[in-house]
Each structure stands twice: as C-alpha cells, then as structure tokens.
C-alpha cells in the first residue's frame, strides 16, 4: 500500500521524529512510502526515500529538497510550469508540539486529507497531562493524584516527597525530575518551567510496576499489541527513551497473568473508545496493589511502537482501511432567507 | 485599528456567522476592516466592505470575489503577476464547526497569524458539551447532571423526565429538544442524532433563572460585560437565537444584586483563566437555590456579544493588544548527534 510519512515539526521532539521516520522506513519497507518533512519554520519538504538519513536534517541540507504545500486532499509540489500532487493517506509521525497538540490533526482535517493519528480532541486530551487527568476522571480510569503549578505560583506543593515534576505538555521525559526533598525542588521546577508555563506534580513511587500496551481500533474492534514491561532505572531519561524511538526489534512479552493483561486492555479500551479512533496509541500504565493506573497516553508513540506488534506492517494496513471519515458540513442559507423575511429586507 | 474578520465556515452555523459579520461591520465601523469569508468548500475569499450583504453569500455570488490562501503571517491574494498580503490581526467569527472546534485556531497558529478567538484546547473544551462537563468538574464549577448517549446505545436514560436533549457538539439550539415524557423521546433523539453521533441529556428545569455574562482578559485582568437575563420561552429555539446574532442594541442589565453578580464573575474567571486567553467568550449560567451552574461556554458568541458591552469597539481594541504569543519551538539536533555517536555511525 501507499503511505505518506509526515515527520519533523516545530517541537522539542523534532529530532526524535526524524529517527522515528527513519525507523519506519525499514519497518514498512513493503509499502510505497513518501516522506514529508515539516521543518521548524513550518515549511513542508518532499524527501525521497534514499535521502532519509539523520544528517540530511541536522546539516540543513533538506532545504535543497522540493517544497510542498497543502491543497485539498493532499500535498502539492509546484514548479514553474506544472504541479504534482501527493494524495496518499498520511501517517502523522510528528511527536510533541504540532503533531500531538491538535495542529496537524486540524490541518489535515481542514484540507480533507486522510490520516493515521489522533484527531484534534484526542490530541488535546493526551498532549497536556492535566487534561489526561480530566479524561481519566470522566472515564473512571484511575490515575495518580496530582497538583498543578503555574509559573507564577510554585511554592506551595501539598504532596509529600518524593515527587515527580513534569512540564504539562511534553513527552519523552523532557524536563522531568524526581524530587526527593525540598533542597532539590527549585532546580527541578526551573527545569520544568523552561519547557512549559504549567507543571504537574505527582507522587513518585519507587519501584512501581510499569506496563506499556499499544493498540488501535479497526472495523469497530480493538486490536492490541503485546504488553511490555519497560526496563528502567529510576525512570527513563531522555537519552534512554530516545534510543527507544529507533527501536525496531520485537520485545519480549511481560511476564504477567491473563487477568492483569485483561485489566490493562479494559482500561485501554475505556480511554480509546469514542476519542482515539484513527490512531494507534500506546498507553503506559502503573500497577499498584493490583490496581491499574494510567500514567500517560502516547497518541503518536516513538516509531509507532512497532516493536510491540507481531506484524506491524499488517496492523498499519488494517488501521488505514478503517479511518474515521471527516464529515464536511454543507452550507445552508435557509436562515438567511428567514431573517431577511423577518426583517422585511 | 486594523482587523480582519474571518467568517463563514463549513458549519451548521454558517449563515449565522455571516449575519454576525454583517453586524460587526456596523459595530466596528471605526476600524479598518477586511472581511475574509471561508466557504463550505474551505476556500477563502476576500470580501470588500461594500459587498457585505447576506445575499452575496446565499446567491453564491461571493465566488466572483478574489480567493485568498494562507501564508506565513496572514493571507495572500495571488494574481498572475503579483501577490498582495493581508497580515492584520484576525477576529475568528466562525461559529460552530471549523471556528469553534479547534480547526481555525490550529490553522492560524500554524501560520503564525495573530487572532482573537479561542486557542485549540479552549475550543475543544467548549465545542463538545461533554468536555465542558469535564472542565467544570476539574475547575470546581457546578454544572447540571448529565448522561451521554451514543448513536448505538440510546435506550437506557436513567434520568427522570422532563429532560433536555442536545447534540454534544452544536450551539445555537440546533437539534435541541425538551422531552416531557417517554412518548416524545424517540423523535427528540432522532433529531439530535441527525447532527451528532453523541448526545447529551440533562434535567430540564422549568423556569430556571438564566444569566449570561461575557468577558475577556487584557493585561492580566478580567474585563466583564454587564450581566444579561435572556428573555426566553421554554428555551430559545434556533430562530429566536438566530435573531440574536444580528443584535446590536445594548440590552438592559439584569436586575440582580452585587453578591450574585460577583458569584457569576468568579465562576467565569475560574473557567476562563489559563485556557481562554486571547478570546472574548460568553458564559451562560443557571442559578438554582442561589448556586451558580455553568450551562454553556460560547467561545465565539453571536456578533461577539457586542450588545453586552458598554464600549464594544474599545473592548476589542484592548483585547487585540493583549493576545497570547504563540511560541514556535526551534529545532534542536543535539540528540541526532548523540544517537549517531551511540550507534557509532
């Protein structure tokens, strides 16, 4: 099948997205792929498959590639005398800002482009960790207690140490710190506030069991990956998670019983249904005293969590065939007629 | 000051937006205004002020006007040999889909265009009535009990009659019914599901007190309109609300005491702060036993609720001077360098 991989973006995870795209080039080698790079200036470039190397981007050489612009149904490459259109389904692989905050979803919907990825509302609920808490609350899915600090009022944390401090809107552990006592607090807050005006505080639970599960809906049915127990030290820092984004070897199933697997799938389904259709997401869970807690939703996981799926290429193909239709509403002028009449004009 | 009024959109409230724009032409006559029309096919047109009459749109004659496209910082009109740019601050006046669902916010942010209107997250929380409930919950603002029905499971309403049934994602009373007993239920549900796959059910409270309050933040301070007690029959149906969108005469202040006015302002501030900056919104409240309940957030109220403000033009000017900066994140390749090193490539 044909697919356009959209990657890059004006995001702290810009480079991660490039690595994800390079990984998918390999994992989806049976597909006919186009690569569409969004640079930090918000210009789109068409990158041929052979040029898909990290250095092309870090060197700035990508600027020599043809520019694309958005058009109804896809992207278009305009030259002096002609134009070529790229109208394949898009896989949104822009991690973080632009890709996961609702921007790309809105752009693609506006231009009637079919895509794999979270829709605008799903993006908003997963991009900002505060809103993920609202969602958990509404969907009756447990998550850890939390406090929200804003840049201007960050002295009165009520929770007791150790705590974990995260910018509200960043993934990949960027700006995240574990704070064991008061003396470490200021530095951790300064770090987090470098990335966001809002910071979320949660209890840090030493040695908590973590499980990751990915999945998507196709033909009205949930399809799940294997459950992974991520290796970790205290928590995965950016460098380690980063290596994750280039992962392509399948991992081993977590050694847990069916009861827990089913609990994880149930929580995943509660979060996913009615909101995340069209996307393949990874949910990261904690398990505490046999209870499942949602830690984080990754609506565009690194390299699409390919390593969790037995047959990743078939999964993407299946999902592509089951994307939500964006319903364009037709204009209706009957009320203009009735107001004109009412006003006697 | 200069301002571009963006109106129209592929929305059930398309015609309402046109009427809103015509009303603002009059209310902001001291401004230098451009009018940018988005038609239902998602094509932008530049409409000169003199042509701003309802018939231009209902007749389809707007298609003779020059087309615009999005460009970095604004809109551009391209002709064979030249191009003209329109880079004024935009006032997003597209009601309903496109304007209030996060699409326009994302487009304008993506193209670095300054605008008055809700940002993408504010749009998502006000556009879908379910998410407004989540927000109320998180912000400790009371709202009525509710149930959510989806198209496939709409038989088991637990609430007792009378109830009010609304499509989750529409304003202007479109598709809304009051249901007094079982016999009226099917028709009401069919009507609501014509407009949305999801429907929200609330108790209907005969004769409940309703108050509307509009406001915005400028220079870090909340600025409020007068409080209005809307006239109503059972509830405002579409035709009556529609007439509202062309309102331009100032209304009378509701006859309520300062204590209640302050309660309304407090709830408004809780909802607005940290989410709606950059927009002028109207919150519609119920008051039951002296308690304030949020009914609805209108992030782009009809004709910008101009009739609630003493000096509407100055309010818009003040808000324009206090719009949030959209922060474009710069690309950073240091992690590509570190992964290359780690992989020895």
pLDDT at A79 over 90: no
Q: What is the CATH number of the domain that holds A286?
A: 3.30.470.20
Number of Cβ within a 10 Å radius of residue B184: 16
**A61 and A77 fall within a common domain:** yes
Q: What is the CATH number of the domain that holds B8?
A: 3.40.50.20
Residue A340: pLDDT band with limits 50, 70, 90: low
**Number of DSSP helices (H) and strands (E) in chain A, helices first:** 10, 16
Residue of B nearest to A239 (CA): B335
**B157 and B186 fall within a common domain:** yes
Give the span between the Cα atoms of B13 and A331, in whole angstroms.
8
The structure's pTM equals 0.93
Residue B162: pLDDT band with limits 50, 70, 90: very high
User: Is B288 within a domain?
Assistant: yes
Residue A258: strand, helix, or coil: helix
Tokens of B305: 């609720």
pLDDT at B345 over 50: no
pLDDT at B242 over 60: no
User: Is A338 within a domain?
Assistant: no
**B225 and B250 fall within a common domain:** yes
Q: Which of A110, A274, A330 sits opposite B103 (nearest CB)?
A: A110
pLDDT of B170: 78
* A332-344 average pLDDT score: 71
- DSSP class per residue in A100-159: TSSHHHHHHHHTT--EES--HHHHHHHHSHHHHHHHHHHHT------EEEETTB-S---S
Structural domains of chain A, count: 3
Let me know: does B225 contact B215? Beta carbons within 8 Å: yes
Q: For residue B108, what are the domain limits?
A: 2-116
Tokens of B257: 């005491």
pLDDT at B300 over 70: yes
pLDDT at B271 over 70: yes
Give the span between the Cα atoms of B65 and B34, in whole angstroms.
13
Q: Which of A15, A102, A337 sits opposite B102 (nearest CB)?
A: A102
* A330-342 average pLDDT score: 75
**B45 and B162 fall within a common domain:** no
Tokens of A23: 């990984």
> Which of A26 and A344 is assigned the larger pLDDT?
A26
Binary contact (B274, A150; C-beta < 8 A): yes
**Which of A245, A336, A340 should one mutate to test binding to chain B, selecting the residue with the greatest count of B CBs within 10 A?**
A336
Residues of chain B with pLDDT > 70, as a percent, come to 91
Binary contact (B340, A109; C-beta < 8 A): no
Residue B234: pLDDT band with limits 50, 70, 90: very low
Average pLDDT over chain B reads: 91
Angle value at C-alpha A182, between A181 and A183, nearest 5 degrees: 95
Find chain A residues with C-beta within 8 A of B340's C-beta: 54-55
pLDDT tens figures, A177-224: 999 999 999 999 999 999 898 999 999 999 999 999 999 999 999 999
pLDDT of A245: 61
Alpha helices in A140-184 (DSSP H): none
pLDDT at B86 over 90: yes
* A302-308 average pLDDT score: 95
pLDDT tens figures, B53-68: 999 999 999 999 999 9
**B48 and B171 fall within a common domain:** no
- DSSP class per residue in B320-334: HTTPPPP-PPPP--H
Sign of CA dihedral A277, A279, A284, A290: positive
Let me know: does B42 contact B10? Beta carbons within 8 Å: yes
Tokens of B164: 């009010």
Angle value at C-alpha A260, between A257 and A264, nearest 5 degrees: 140
User: Is B77 within a domain?
Assistant: yes
pLDDT tens figures, B168-221: 997 767 899 999 999 999 999 999 999 898 999 999 999 999 999 999 999 999
Q: Please give the DSSP secondary-structure letter assigned to residue B189.
A: H
- The distance of B99 to chain A (nearest Cα, Å) reads 11
Let me know: does B85 contact B61? Beta carbons within 8 Å: no
Find chain B residues with C-beta within 8 A of A238's C-beta: 335
**A153 and A182 fall within a common domain:** yes
Find chain A residues with C-beta within 8 A of B55's C-beta: 336, 340
pLDDT tens figures, B101-126: 999 999 999 999 999 999 999 999 99
* Of residues A63, A117, A166, A171, the one with CA closest to residue A281: A117
Binary contact (B137, A138; C-beta < 8 A): yes
Residues 6 or more apart in contact with residue A274 via CB below 8 angstroms: B150, B198
Binary contact (A150, B336; C-beta < 8 A): no
pLDDT of B114: 97
- The distance of B107 to chain A (nearest Cα, Å) reads 6
Binary contact (B246, A339; C-beta < 8 A): yes
**Which of A199, A335, A342 should one mutate to test binding to chain B, selecting the residue with the greatest count of B CBs within 10 A?**
A335
Residue A266: strand, helix, or coil: helix
Residue B55: strand, helix, or coil: helix
Query: Backbone phi, then psi, for B175, in 5-degree steps?
Result: 75, 10
> Which of A9 and A197 is assigned the larger pLDDT?
A9
Binary contact (B110, A111; C-beta < 8 A): no
pLDDT tens figures, A128-138: 999 999 999 99
Find chain B residues with C-beta within 8 A of A135's C-beta: 134
Residue of B nearest to A169 (CA): B121
Q: Please give the DSSP secondary-structure letter assigned to residue B88.
A: S
**B249 and B284 fall within a common domain:** yes
- The distance of A261 to chain B (nearest Cα, Å) reads 27
Binary contact (B336, A19; C-beta < 8 A): yes
* B6-33 average pLDDT score: 95
Residue of B nearest to A328 (CA): B10
pLDDT of A57: 97
User: Is B265 within a domain?
Assistant: yes
Residue of A nearest to B43 (CA): A72
Asked whether this complex has an ipTM greater than 0.95, the answer is: no
User: Is B239 within a domain?
Assistant: yes
Residue A263: pLDDT band with limits 50, 70, 90: very high
Give the span between the Cα atoms of B327 and B52, in whole angstroms.
35
Q: Which of A41, A128, A336 sits opposite B54 (nearest CB)?
A: A336
Tokens of A302: 């690194």
Let me know: does B120 contact A118? Beta carbons within 8 Å: no
pLDDT at B225 over 60: yes
**Which of B74, B106, B153, B238 should one mutate to test binding to chain A, selecting the residue with the greatest count of A CBs within 10 A?**
B106
**B176 and B227 fall within a common domain:** no
Average pLDDT over chain A reads: 91
**A134 and A272 fall within a common domain:** yes
**A59 and A156 fall within a common domain:** no
Give the span between the Cα atoms of A156 and A149, in whole angstroms.
9
Residue of B nearest to A196 (CA): B327
Query: Backbone phi, then psi, for B64, in 5-degree steps?
Result: -80, -10
User: Is B338 within a domain?
Assistant: no
User: Is A288 within a domain?
Assistant: yes
* Of residues A327, A276, A87, the one with CA closest to residue B194: A327
pLDDT tens figures, B303-337: 999 999 999 999 999 999 999 987 777 888 877 77
Binary contact (B134, A137; C-beta < 8 A): yes
**Which of B243, B329, B338 should one mutate to test binding to chain A, selecting the residue with the greatest count of A CBs within 10 A?**
B329
User: Is A193 within a domain?
Assistant: yes
Let me know: does A297 contact A213? Beta carbons within 8 Å: no
Q: What is the CATH number of the domain that holds A170?
A: 3.30.1490.20
**B222 and B312 fall within a common domain:** yes
**A258 and A175 fall within a common domain:** no
């Amino acid at each position: 099948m044909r697919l356009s991989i959209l990657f890059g973006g004006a995001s702290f995870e810009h480079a991660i997205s490039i690595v994800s795209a390079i990984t998918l080039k390999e994992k989806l080698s049976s597909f006919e792929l186009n690569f569409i790079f969004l640079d930090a200036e918000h210009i789109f470039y068409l990158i041929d498959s052979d040029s898909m190397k990290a250095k092309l981007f870090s060197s700035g050489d990508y600027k020599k590639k043809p520019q694309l612009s958005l058009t109804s149904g896809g992207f278009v490459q305009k030259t002096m005398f002609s134009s070529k259109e790229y109208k394949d389904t898009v896989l949104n692989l822009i991690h973080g800002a632009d890709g996961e905050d609702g921007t790309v979803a809105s752009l693609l919907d506006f231009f009637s482009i079919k895509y794999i990825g979270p829709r605008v509302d799903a993006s908003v609920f997963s991009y900002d960790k505060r809103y993920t808490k609202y969602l958990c609350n509404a969907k009756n899915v447990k998550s850890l207690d939390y406090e929200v600090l804003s840049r201007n009022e960050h002295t009165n944390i009520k929770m007791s140490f150790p705590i974990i401090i995260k910018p509200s809107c960043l993934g990949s552990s960027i700006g995240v710190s574990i704070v064991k006592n008061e003396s470490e607090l200021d530095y951790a807050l300064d770090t987090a506030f470098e990335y966001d005006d809002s910071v979320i505080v949660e209890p840090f639970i030493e040695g908590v069991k973590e499980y990751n599960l990915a999945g998507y809906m196709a033909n009205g049915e949930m399809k799940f990956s294997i459950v992974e127990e991520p290796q970790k030290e205290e928590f995965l820092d950016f460098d380690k998670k980063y290596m994750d984004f280039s992962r392509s070897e399948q991992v081993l199933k977590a050694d847990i019983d069916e009861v827990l697997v089913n609990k994880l799938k149930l929580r995943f389904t509660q979060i996913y249904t009615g909101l995340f259709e069209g996307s393949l997401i990874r949910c990261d869970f904690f398990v505490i005293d046999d209870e499942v807690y949602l830690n984080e939703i990754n609506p565009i996981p690194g390299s699409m969590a390919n390593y969790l799926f037995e047959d990743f290429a078939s999964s993407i193909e299946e999902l592509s065939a089951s994307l939500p239709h964006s319903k364009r509403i037709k204009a209706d002028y009957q009320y203009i007629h009735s107001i004109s009449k009412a006003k006697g004009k």
